[in-house]
Chains A and B, each alone.
Chain A
Amino acid sequence: MDRLTYFPGCSLKDEAKEFEISAMAVMKVLELPLVEIERWNCCGTVFSLTEDDLMHQLASIRNFIRVQEAGSDEIVTSCAMCYNTLKRSSLFVNHAEERLEKINAFMDEEVAYEGKVEVRHLLEIIRDRIGWEKVEEAMIYPLEGLSVAPYYGCMLLRPRQVGIDDPDNPTIMRDLIDALWATPVEYAFQAECCGSYQVVDHRELIVERTHRILSSARRAGADVVVTSCPLCQYNLRETQSELKEKIPTYEEMPVMYFTQLMAVALDVDSGELPGPLLARFSVGEGVGKGEG
């Protein structure tokens, strides 16, 4: 059986465990299992945007070397931030002889990186290698009646050379939602930044962004919002309690990973699902199969 060289990233081993549990379970059923690479390290979370900074590419490149050692030329991740960082690093050094040479000379304790590893996001793999039809065939509990708003955020779509879809009009998550027989929700803020790492020193900014994004999704009829990024997920989920304090009438919006939505429909382990979703829907018997 084919398998994928999988890079989990730190969040999926910690606060985003449900993302990994559901991704693993789903890919197993879809017969393209995720096999974790050995001795991977943190990608650094953000891509360094300065031209002279080779140092901050090392974290990504060490991971590419691990992939090479595993006899693969592809690294697959479901975390949108890891994806963006790894992908940009690969574009920065693959086919850039001079940069590669410098980096390899610097990391003399490692075997040389050959510059051939391709970075892919799990959504791309599902779209391009598995196909929506196969996802639909594997479905046990169609999500009919559930309105799902995709939240792309930034890292899956921008910059253009890195995006897994058209940054102005992405459809990949909508197509997934369609394949699961749920109703995709169109709304204005699906690709607008949640505020990202500004949550550390400008938390009020994130509360405001969350309000805008989730209210827009709610007005468009969403029952649930799906994400692909542990940081978006944290921002959108955790700042809702602050929103409730500010606006007593605010109604909580469940937010979960796209793989959890798939897991529910495919009747495999979804990991912990958001409480309000469990309370409001019973989509077949699939909901609640997780450990949560």
Chain B
Amino acid sequence: MARKELEIIEGLWEKVEELSGQNIFACYQCGMCSAGCPFTDEMDMLPNQVIRGLQLRDWNTMDCSAMWICASCFSCQVRCPKGVDLAKLMEAMRQIYLRQQLDHVSIDDMTPEQISKLPQIALVANFRKKTG
């Protein structure tokens, strides 16, 4: 069985900042990102809560489903008054998983019928975001 749990590596928080190139402490929690995010209904944490969690080094943040629901639509990015690119932070968090070979989707879990009705562009994009 493959390891399913994220291994807590040293410097994980710094790694998220480094991979994203974002200064998480620039965020002053105005909530504009969450106000404009089309997917908050499906997220367990709001985008601004994710960044708050990163600021507080709260481990629960690394378990959030929000990072996998985020569709990289960049609505938050154009709205943030502080110039924080939350889409990049979400990607950095996903990358922490993916670089530990913890894929979020698997083609093996999909039926041939599911695969055949999806266009290439969706499959390639999804696997680029959710597998390592």
Contact = CB atoms under 8 A, between A and B. Distances in A.
Nearest to A238: B117
A199 B118 contact: yes
Interface residues of B, number: 37
Given A167-B78, A231-B119, A50 B92 contact: yes
Contacts of A196: 71-73, 122, 125
A209 B39 CA distance: 9
B72 to A, nearest CB: 7
A150 to B, nearest CB: 17
Contacts of B21: 51
A46 B39 CA distance: 19
Give the secondary structure class of A's interface: loop
A231 B78 contact: no
Which of B73, B77, B95, B121: most chain A Cβ within 10 A?
Answer: B121
Interface string B117-132: 1111111111011100
Interface stretch (A9-17, A67-75, A220-228, A257-265): A9-17
A286 interface: no
A159 interface: yes
Nearest to B92: A50
Given A44-B128, A202-B69, A15 B119 contact: yes
Contact of B126 (A158, A200, A230, A234): A200
Contacts of B38: 192-193, 209
Nearest to A43: B124
Contacts of B75: 154, 158, 192-193
